[in-house]
Amino acid sequence: MSAIEVLAEQPAGEPYAAFPHVAEIIVGLIAFSLLVYVIGKFAWPNVVTSHEDTKKQIEGGIAKAEAMEADAKAELARSRERLAGVDDETARIRDDARADAERIGQDMDAKAAEEAERVRAQGRQSLEASRSRAIAELRAQTGRESVELSRRIVASALSDDASRGASVDRFLDELEAMGGAAGGSNDPDASVISGNGAGA
């Protein structure tokens, strides 16, 4: 039931009969004041202290979070610097590796050229030695064949009696011609040769 309905049900001569008496109001105010005093004396300081502690904890947490954020930012900056240093070091290592590869390639090319030149020199020496041996063997074989051919020719010429006699006569004629060219020389050898020629 609302206050308006309560007031409407009151008799016309007592318009404020639904409200409490003044003593009740005074007792209520005293009780309320005592309650406020007790709360203000005992409960409120605890609430304030708890609030302050909570506020300090929150402020400490915020400060700690800000410090952690600052540390994180500093660590991020250091990480970026280290990353930049790593990139520089990587680039330097890559450049060094490329230079080493080029140098190794040049060394390998030089060694390959030296080895090829050495193999060519050995080939030339081997070819020259083989050529010299072939020439020596060819000369030796040619000499042997020439001696054999001469022996056959001489044997063939001497085997024929008529040819042998003609050869001896020709030899004697040449000796006589040499003796005649000497004129009237007193060389006993020439006379002996002439006598031998005559006897023959």
Residue 192 pLDDT exceeds 70: no
Distance, in Å, from the CA atom of 31 to the CA atom of 25, rounded to the nearest integer, reads: 10
Torsion of CA 102, 103, 105, 106, to 10 degrees: 120
Please indicate, yes or no, if residue 26 is contained in any of the structural domains.
yes
Please indicate, yes or no, if residue 193 is contained in any of the structural domains.
no
What number is the average pLDDT over the span 106-110? 88
Please indicate, yes or no, if residue 189 is contained in any of the structural domains.
no
Please tell me the predicted confidence (pLDDT) of residue 194.
Answer: 44
Please indicate, yes or no, if residue 68 is contained in any of the structural domains.
yes
Residue predicted with more confidence, 7 or 192: 7
Distance, in Å, from the CA atom of 188 to the CA atom of 4, rounded to the nearest integer, reads: 201
What number is the average pLDDT over the span 164-175? 74
Please indicate, yes or no, if residue 14 is contained in any of the structural domains.
no
Q: If pLDDT is split at 50, 70 and 90, which confidence band does 159 have? A: low
Give the structural domain span for 91: 22-121
Please indicate, yes or no, if residue 94 is contained in any of the structural domains.
yes
Please indicate, yes or no, if residue 74 is contained in any of the structural domains.
yes
What number is the average pLDDT over the span 58-74? 90
Residue 154 pLDDT exceeds 60: yes
Number of domains into which the chain is organized: 1
**What integer best gives the mean pLDDT of the chain?**
77
DSSP string, 112-158: HHHHHHHHHHHHHHHHHHHHHHHHHHHHHHHHHHHHHHHHHHHHHHH
What number is the average pLDDT over the span 70-80? 91
Q: Is the pTM of this model over 0.85?
A: no
Opening angle at CA 47, ends 37 and 64, nearest 5: 160
Distance, in Å, from the CA atom of 136 to the CA atom of 199, rounded to the nearest integer, reads: 50
Residue 199 pLDDT exceeds 60: no
Query: pLDDT per residue over 23-39, tens digit each?
Result: 888 998 999 999 999 88
Please indicate, yes or no, if residue 48 is contained in any of the structural domains.
yes
